[in-house]
Structure 1
Amino acid sequence: MNKYAIIDIEGKQLRVEPGRFYDIRRFNDNLNLWGINTKFSIYRVLLFRDESNIHVGSPWVVNAVIKGRIFHSCFREKLTISKISCKKKTLRICGYKENMIRLTIDSIGFHCRNVSSR
């Protein structure tokens, strides 16, 4: 629990730590086209903790970056929805499986972006 970060993915907050697996909803069409072991970076970091130092962003922490890899796409357990019509005495059951992406976080840290000034 030395390092962790809270990131923003499609309006939802997720607490991430290096070396752990996470299942998230498919959120970006470009990310869906990427294959297995594709590396990615997320710059939308809301909070970053490194041992005793805590960095809070407004809205995001400047130069903080989360680097990780996509393992594969997967499905969540099937959600069942049942609708009962009591006057007709019928029961209708339907459901779906939500598309998910399994990813792992490789590193959390600060990244110096090269910004050229004129």
Structure 2
Amino acid sequence: MSYAIIETGGKQLRVEPGRFYEIELLHVDPDVQVTIDKVLFVHHNDDITIGQPFIEGATVEGTVMRHRRGKKIIVYKMKPKKKTRKKRGHRQEITQLMINSISMNGTAIATEQQSAAIPAADEPDAQTIEADEAQQAAVSVVADEPDAQTVAE
């Protein structure tokens, strides 16, 4: 599994190809390709590259899916015995970004298709599911048959 740590919006974020991330607002239109060159760390097939502070030639490509506003945060300030109260609300502007690939020196080391082609260890494939269903059906048939002792009694 390949991943990278990037810096965007003043925050550091661990990203993998084929996944969605919510980052601070990027001033671009939806369905536009974005290249992030502030890559701090790349891990690919047990090969680790660390930047000082950024890795030269490393980029992360992504597609802006949509823009939205985050959950509302209420800021309430009060000074006791002074009759001073301030209530303010804030909603952060968020961009939903889909990571397409991680590249080093112009060559893509991890892409969305590569990460989708490798099945996750937690998710069983179709053959495993069919075998499990057949085994459960056989167990239920055996459970429906009466015992020899029960019939004799």
TM-score in terms of structure 2 length: 0.63
Amino acid at match of 2:20: F
Residues in 1 aligned to 2:45 and 2:10: alpha-carbon distance in whole angstroms: 27
Structure 1's unaligned 5+ residue stretches are 114-118
Q: How far 1:88 sits from its partner (Å)?
A: 4.2
Among 67, 78, 82, the residue aligned to 1:84 = 78
Q: 1:71 aligned to 2:61?
A: no
User: Which residue is 1:116 aligned to?
Assistant: none
Letter matched to residue 79 of structure 1: I
**Aligned equivalents of 2:32, 2:73: Cα separation in 1:** 29
How far apart, CA to CA, are the structure 1 residues paired with 2:86 and 2:53? 45
**Bigger strand fraction:** 1
Offset at residue 9 of structure 1 (A): 1.6
- Is residue 7 of structure 1 aligned with residue 6 of structure 2? yes
1:46-92 deviations in Å (ceiling 9; x for gaps)? 10000211111112212211010001111111010112232145644
Provide the secondary structure at the position in 1 that maps to 2:5. Answer: strand
What's the C-alpha RMSD, in Å, of the aligned pairs? 1.8
- The one-letter amino acid of 1:99's match is E
Provide the secondary structure at the position in 1 that maps to 2:30: coil
Summarize deviations over 1:18-43 as a string: whole Å, max 9, x none. Answer: 111111112xxxx41x2111001111
Distance 1:112 1:83 in 2: 51
1:103 to 1:87, Cα distance in 2 relative to 1, 3 A: same
**Aligned residue pairs, count:** 107
Question: Which has the larger helix fraction?
Answer: 2
User: Which consecutive aligned stretches of 4+ in structure 1 deviate over 4 angstroms post-superposition?
Assistant: 88-91
- Structure 2, unaligned runs of 5 or more: 108-153
* 3-state SS in 1 of match to 2:74: strand
Aligned amino acid, residue 91 of structure 2? K
Higher relative contact order (CA 8 A, sep 6+): 1
